[in-house]
Structure 1
Amino acid sequence: MTAQSLLPEDRNSRRLLLAFLVTLIFMVAEVLGGFISGSLALLADAGHMLTDAAALLMALLAVRFARRKANARHTFGYLRLTTMAAFVNASALLLIVILILWQAIRRFMTPEPVLGGTMLAVAIAGLFANLLAFWLLHQGEEKENINVRAAALHVMGDLLGSVGAVVAALVIMKTGWTPIDPILSVVVSCLVLRNAWGLLRESFHELLEGTPQEIDIDKLRKDLSLAIPEVRSVHHVHVWQIGEQRLMTLHTQVIPPHDHDALLARMQHYLREKYRIGHATIQMEYGTCEMPDCNLNEGLTSETGHAHHHHHNHSH
């Protein structure tokens, strides 16, 4: 790792740290403001800010941990922590949403007075805090990083939450109609719910070693055997992702090449260029695969095998 390659990481962590502090301070302000003014919309927004702060903290730790070198005990390094962080974070969000919704239902039954003025002041302050945090995150280089993305999503939802609280405060000051407060707290919660659900699904998929969303294994197998004439069939394919790194293992039945290493290099180059797979472990076989787990994701091996066999007889 050169100093050059560490710079974006450092800038990211500095931005994340600033955004975290801003969010944390204003979360406390919103909780106090929510209790003082009796506003549920402010509390919903504060709940949102709490998960923002958590998201930012996770992202911060993730950037730190991603730097730790892999070792014999953790051969992939600590990249998976970022995914776990996103998962825990999304789960916390769901819990907060449930609490807010439950409170909102209670408020509809028995409306409570809300101090519009206090609420407005706090909501406007919260709005500026969010704008600042959002701006900080959007300066980030790591557009791809699931954690920075998760954090930016949170703050985005939070901006809408703060706007909701400002609107509710204005309505209460003009008309004195307090049910607008729980109504908007429910709206904010639904926004939070959407973010949380997407994040939960994505991180859970990665924790289960799921194939990255954009990769179609069957297509990859066909593509590889079409792109590289020596490849007769591809089987036993596993693709997964750790942090931003894609990994793959596969068996391939090949026509015995003149240059084993060159063929290997061509396959790896193809996988890197076409599928962004930076780390592929390829087992080449000259006969048919005799291992018990070779037919793990079989399906189209035999057909492509035959097809290619004929194709080779013509080409050689």
Structure 2
Amino acid sequence: MGFHHHDHGDGHAHHHHGKGASKKALLASLLIISVFFIVETIGGFLTNSLALLSDAGHMLSDALALLLSLVAMHFAARPPSAQKTFGMQRFEILAALTNGVTLVLISLFIFWEGFQRLLDPPEVASGKMIIIATIGLLANIAAALVLMRGDYKDNVNVKSAYLHVLGDMLGSVGAILGGILMLAFGWYIADPIISLIVAFLILLSAWRVTKESVNILLEGAPSRLDTTKVEARLGQLGGVRKVHDLHIWTVTSGFDSLTCHLIVEDNVPSYPVLDAALNLLQKEFGITHATIQIENSSISHGKLHCQGGEPEHEHGHAHEHGHSH
């Protein structure tokens, strides 16, 4: 008997916790950061400071991350349709990939420009630069405080936005330091050096975002899970002889799915095994969305030898809705 079991756990729940507060926090910090992105960009050109421009690039990466989180929240909340059975939850990942690629391009531009400037550092209006960078730092602090009032511990989106903003603070601090060095000692080489450091920070965050989103789009197993360990643990359950066709993938950040077939001893009732398997997946691996097919060893044996499809068509489709917290 093949049993299909579907467990609709908390896969979607994290999208709805403190949603209103999170959305407001993201929107407010997006506004703050976008305004100062514009201020820093103009300031960078006026003062001829690459460090300010690279900090603006960092701010743009924040703004993109925040916009992404808002768009993702909007789409993740849309109900699944007949064509899109997961709804639009993958949109977040596509947007993250776009975000990552954009950041890589920005950082490459800064590297290129920074190396040119290392050879021949131009003069920078350091006094104005310090003022603008300080305003940028205050904007980042404001955005971080706003995000902390949101749901930054539970919500993946708010948390990543918060980390972005913290990283951005470093960029602003760097620009301020550079400005002080140039003002005090006329060390104009400080400007390209700091911008290269900031570009490197942008590149790191871009690499992380891109790597993760590509892994998700390729249906790779979530990086936090070791599939061989999951398979081994399922195989250790009483009555289970073999685990096959195990697939684990991520639908969108924080929502992992698993499907597999368990071959059980002929005399073992399948529901207890199913129950044990689902509990194990949730408790040990945090997977709440699992579809498991239980097969008798004799049937699966028959299946392996019968080339013309399945020898028996007695698949009991048992759909249970276990709301697991």
TM range (shorter): 0.7 to 0.9
TM-aligned CA deviation for residue 276 of structure 1: 1.4
Aligned: 1:221 with 2:231: yes
Task: Compute the displacement of 1:130 (Å).
Answer: 0.7
1:285 match: secondary structure: strand
Partner SS state of residue 142, structure 2: helix
Seen in structure 2, the aligned counterparts of structure 1 residues 145 and 196 have a Cα distance that, compared at 3 Å, is: farther
Q: Residue 205 of structure 2 is aligned with which of 174, 195, 199?
A: 195
1:255 is aligned to 265
> In 2, distance between residues paired with 1:252 and 1:101?
52
Counterpart of 1:117, as a letter, is G
User: How many angstroms does 1:145 deviate by?
Assistant: 4.6
> Residue 108 of structure 1: CA displacement?
2.3
Residue 4 of structure 2: aligned partner = none
Kindly indicate whether the alpha-carbon contact (under 8 Å) linking 2:151 and 2:158 is maintained by their aligned counterparts in 1: no
- Describe the superposition over 1:154-182 as per-residue Cα deviations: whole angstroms up to 9, x where unpaired: 21221110001100111111112211111
Q: Which residue of 1 aligns with 2:171?
A: 161
Alignment check: 8 A CA contact 1:249 1:282 kept: yes
1:241 maps onto 2:240 in alignment = no
Of residues 43, 60, 65, the one that matches 1:50 is 60
More deviation, 146-155/279-288: 146-155
How many residues of Structure 1 are paired with residues of Structure 2 in the alignment? 288
Matching of residues 10-89 of structure 1 within 5 Å: 10-89=20-99
Is the 2:68–2:96 contact (alpha carbons within 8 Å) kept by the matching residues of 1?
yes
Amino acid at match of 2:255: Q
Using structure 1 for the length normalisation, give the TM-score: 0.85
Whole-Å separation in 1 of the counterparts to 2:121 and 2:238: 73
Q: Secondary structure at the match of 2:297?
A: coil
Match of 2:312 in 1: none
Shift of 1:137: 2.3
Which of residues 219, 240, 244 is equivalent to 1:209?
A: 219
Distance 1:224 1:258, change over 3 A: closer
Shift of 1:266: 2.6
- The answer to whether the 8 A contact 2:140-2:165 is kept is yes
CA distance in 2, matches of 1:21, 1:30: 14
Alpha-carbon shift at residue 152 of structure 1 (Å): 2.4
- The more displaced of 237-246 and 107-116 is 107-116
Alignment of 1:170 with 2:143, yes or no, is no
Structure 1 regions of 5+ residues with no counterpart? 293-316
Any idea what the Cα deviations from partners look like across 1:177-204, whole Å, max 9, x if unmatched? 2111111111111111111112211121
Preserved contact between residue 8 and residue 141 of structure 1 (Cα < 8 Å): yes
5+ long unaligned stretches in structure 2: 1-9, 305-325
Superposed CA offset, 1:214-252 (max 9, x none): 2222222221232x2111111110011112211111111
CA RMSD, aligned part only? 2.0
- Whole-Å separation in 1 of the counterparts to 2:155 and 2:206: 17
Greater helix fraction, Structure 1 or Structure 2: 1
Deviation at 1:16?
0.4
Residue 230 of structure 1: aligned partner: 239
Output one character per residue of 1:36-81: Cα deviation in whole Å (capped at 9) or x when no partner: 1111100000011111111110111111111111121111122111
Q: Which has the higher contact order (CA 8 A, sep 6+)?
A: 2
Deviations 1:84-108, CA, capped at 9 Å, x for gaps: 2221111111100011111112222
Deviations 1:6-32, CA, capped at 9 Å, x for gaps: 461111111000110000000011011
- Which of 127, 130, 133 is the equivalent residue of 2:137? 127
Q: 2:266, 2:297 within 8 Å by CA — same for their partners in 1?
A: no
Tell me which of 147, 158, 180 is aligned to 1:148. Answer: 158
Aligned residues of 2:137 and 2:173 also touching (Cα < 8 A): yes
**Percent of aligned pairs sharing the same letter:** 38
Q: After TM superposition, which residue ranges in structure 1, 4 or more long, deviate above 6 angstroms?
A: none
**Counterparts in 2 of 1:20 and 1:230: CA distance versus 1, 3 Å:** same
**1:102 counterpart residue number:** 112
Cα distance in structure 2, aligned partners of 1:123 and 1:247: 44
Q: d(CA) in 2 for partners of 1:203 and 1:111?
A: 38
The answer to whether the Cα contact below 8 Å between 1:150 and 1:199 also exists between their aligned partners in 2 is no
Determine the C-alpha separation between the residues in 2 that align with 1:234 and 1:60.
Answer: 40
Aligned twin of 2:283 = 273
Q: Which residue of 1 aligns with 2:148?
A: 138
